[in-house]
Amino acid sequence: MKHQKSKILYREAERVLVGGVNSPVRAFKAVGGTPLFIKSAKGSKIQDEDGNVYIDYVCSWGALILGSAHSKVVHALRHRLHQGTSYGAPTGLEVELAEMVIDAMPSIEKVRFVSSGTEATMSALRLARAYTKRQRILKFEGCYHGHVDYLLVKGGSGMVTLGVPDSAGLSDVIAADTLVARYNDLESVKAVFEKYGEEIAAVIVEPIAANMGLIPPMPEFLRGLRELTKEADAVLVFDEVITGFRASYGGCQELYGIVPDLTCLGKIIGGGLPVGAYGGHEDIMNLLAPLGPVYQAGTLSGNPLAMAAGIETLKVLRTKGFYRKLERSSAKLENGLKKAARHAGCAVSLNRAGSMLGLFFTEKEVTDYSSAKSSNTSAHRIFFQSMLDQGIYLPPSAFETMFVSAAHTVSDISTTVEAAESAFQAAQRSVPA
């Protein structure tokens, strides 16, 4: 495939955008080559500025569970555009989507919409601190919760991809209030609580980690967090920005039967438009202004276009058999990739949780940040480029998650698996004897 227009656009972008991109992983630094500049997308396919068409497993980093430009979402947006794009005032759409979210999520009694997942996590933890009158936050190595200063400590995702240990510009004072434990290691959490329990306002966790590759929780890990936070009167925050309405309609809390105190949402609830939300028990949420002393505001919060797209998306997700069909497609991809790797003699570890997959070039079982980092990133780089050359668009990082959408067909999965066998062979040849 030729990428001449993307190369020209990237050179132009580097003159006016920092690094030529508006989000670091998009720069392809970890996989080499020129980032693709996308012109259009429909269903399971995206098309770049050179006219190349790819099967898309980025899906706007998980937001497009229906695929791109779903007819019902597009229709709703066209209808709303003629009525204005933003009012800075309440709308009935906000109420409708809030009711749908509350109905779906066992933990949420009230919700506040914002414009990004970062806003959601930042605001939820401010609430937790106000509610508990404590300062410290406990997070996990490799879990990413947005670019809030104190949450970038051991922040996973793009920072692991780019080899950045944390982030420059973090205040030592702020970072000192962030405690870190190991994901899937309940004993490490207990040790932190034994030392700092009375100072911990909240524990924030990706219930299925999806920012160091895809890593499901071990049995009893989430339940153990729920018990420890209750014992210490700390707030348990589930960051379901990725997993909300993807792991199941009710997210991980429905899937695993764990009820957190606060939940952060994003991606899917905006139907592909910028959105975020946080919600939880009424006694915590009522601390927010205008009812309480915790201030948070946003010009585009509850934006009518994002609300309309989210409502239509959730309506489709509620149709009978939606998640069963998505599970079948995802399982077919998982089994196909495993078989292709075996045929190629390539050692990989593949994790899957519903329609999310993490592929690691390692013989080890990947259960946490440390084992994720054992992945051979050079082999992944070759695999990525081979797949791209064959028309398969994967996340450009060994530490990001692949997403399957409802638009992916049996033919898409078969084509992907066929391409993967030769890509695994290429990656295997790169591994030193």
Among 131, 144, 183, 393, the active-site one is 144
Nearest to 268 by CA among 250, 241, 237: 241
C-beta of residue 426 within 8 angstroms of C-beta of residue 343: no
DSSP secondary structure letters along 95-152: HHHHHHHHHH-TT-SEEEEESSHHHHHHHHHHHHHHHHT--EEEEETT----S-GGG-
Q: How far apart are CA 251 and CA 239, in angstroms?
A: 10
C-beta of residue 396 within 8 angstroms of C-beta of residue 25: yes
Which pair of tokens denotes residue 131?
């509610």
Among 45, 139, 267, 373, the active-site one is 267
Q: Is the dihedral angle over the CA atoms 26, 182, 353, 223 positive or is it negative?
A: negative
C-beta of residue 212 within 8 angstroms of C-beta of residue 182: no
177 is catalytic: no
Q: How far apart are CA 69 and CA 369, in angstroms?
A: 35
267 is catalytic: yes
Q: How far apart are CA 64 and CA 355, in angstroms?
A: 12
Q: Is the dihedral angle over the CA atoms 124, 125, 128, 133 positive or is it negative?
A: negative
87 is catalytic: no
Helix axes 186-196, 221-231, angle to 10 degrees: 10
> Catalytic residue positions?
144, 239, 267
